[in-house]
Amino acid sequence: MNKRDYYEVLGISKSASDEEIKRAFRKLAKQYHPDVNKDPGAEEKFKEIGEAYAILSDPEKRRQYDQFGHAAFEGGAGGFSGFNADDIDLGSIFEDIFGSSFGFNFGGSRNRSKNGPVKGQDRLIRMNLTFEEAVFGCKKSINVDLNETCEFCHGAGGFHEKTCSKCNGRGTIIMEQKSMFGIFQTQTVCDACGGNGKTYEEKCSKCRGAGHIKVNKEIVVTVPEGVDNGYQLRISGKGEAGRNGGPNGDIYIEFVVKKHEFFEREDENIYLEVPLTIAEASLGCKKEIPTLENNVILDIKAGASTGDKLKLKGKGIKVPNSLRKGDMFVILNVVIPSKLNRKQKKLLEELAETGLDDETIFRNFKKYLK
């Protein structure tokens, strides 16, 4: 089923500021909150609003959505994957807007426990590449600090598990709160067990009860051929450790490619400006030029002009994860010397006397002057 545009869901423009996004969500959330609006479909509408806010209020997710649309969260276009409404903690969103006392939980169900597996956070890392590294691909190592599951307590955070006495293992505490809409019965995460519903008689000394430890890891990244500025590569399962047995997050590598001294790139095509002397342009010549892989001899026809474009098919850049290659375009530039020695000046004066201006274009220009 096609999803509605997130900006349309919140009724805002694509240039909306963070404050405008929050204000739009606040208005719609109060209107469609399931404890306020009992109309059929109100809860689904509310989840749609919450999903839109969760994406557009996060700068990185918003950038991904603006670039790839909903495909950014469906494993395509190099963006974040595995996204669904259950991944959104709408309770934390409401805490941000209404204050920490508001503890309504949303997701797969409105009273979902936090005991279930939670995927670890994704990490975004920018990697600098030379032009050649981006074009031909390479292997590069990165060092990154990550939270990894504590091997000593296997992520539990302690030993000798017991049921939390404060929440009786539910992980949440039910509270009543008065508001402008009446009395709400809401849930807050149990502060004694952190929502796990269990505590431990002995805290793990290695991770100090956190269940994870900070480690520095070296990761070898295989850069595919043809990546460009801003291209993102996903490394699955190498991000932050998950909680409660959940999978690790992912690492996204965003490439920053240095410009080349001579080649200009436009997607998979490359452009090279080749300088010609007046003699080479007038008489034609065989010109040796560089390509990405080797040097080739280019046949320049007589009468070449600045701006003439020659195409070398298949001499461009390989499209990442594809067999297709772009083309190379040679742009000719006839260079007029700024300084002439005595011999060069005399030769050009003699050449001018031979009637170079008898070309039709010169004759037409002279007629216009009369």
Mean pLDDT calculated for residue range 126-138: 94
On average, the pLDDT of the chain sits at 80
Tens of pLDDT, residue by residue over 69-105, are 887 776 544 444 434 444 444 555 555 555 444 444 4
Q: How far apart are alpha carbons 360 and 82 in whole angstroms? A: 67
- Residue 72 has a pLDDT of 74
Q: How many CA atoms lie within 13 A of 126 on its CB side?
A: 6
Q: How far apart are alpha carbons 5 and 66 in whole angstroms? A: 10
Q: How far apart are alpha carbons 59 and 101 in whole angstroms? A: 26
Higher pLDDT, 249 or 2: 249
Whether pLDDT at 206 is above 90: no
Characterize the bridge pairing of strands 232-235 and 212-223. unpaired
Tokens matching residue 242? 């998950």
Characterize the bridge pairing of strands 251-257 and 264-266. unpaired
Q: Is 214 exposed, middle or buried (0-12, 13-18, 19+ CB in 10 A)?
A: exposed
What is the pLDDT confidence band of residue 262, given thresholds at 50, 70 and 90?
very high
Higher pLDDT, 78 or 320: 320
Does the predicted TM-score (pTM) go above 0.85?
no
For the chain, give the percent of residues with pLDDT over 70. Answer: 80
For the chain, give the percent of residues with pLDDT over 90. Answer: 31
Q: How far apart are alpha carbons 37 and 32 in whole angstroms? A: 5
Tens of pLDDT, residue by residue over 208-254, are 888 888 889 899 999 999 999 989 899 998 888 887 778 888 999 99
Tens of pLDDT, residue by residue over 158-191, are 888 888 888 888 888 877 666 544 556 667 788 7
Of the candidates 39, 260, 31, 222, the residue with the CA atom closest to the CA atom of residue 130: 260
| CA-atom Rg of the chain in angstroms | 32
Of the candidates 212, 195, 203, the residue with the CA atom closest to the CA atom of residue 115: 195
- Residue 100 has a pLDDT of 43
Q: Is 38 exposed, middle or buried (0-12, 13-18, 19+ CB in 10 A)?
A: exposed
Residue 137, phi then psi, degrees to nearest 5: 80, 160
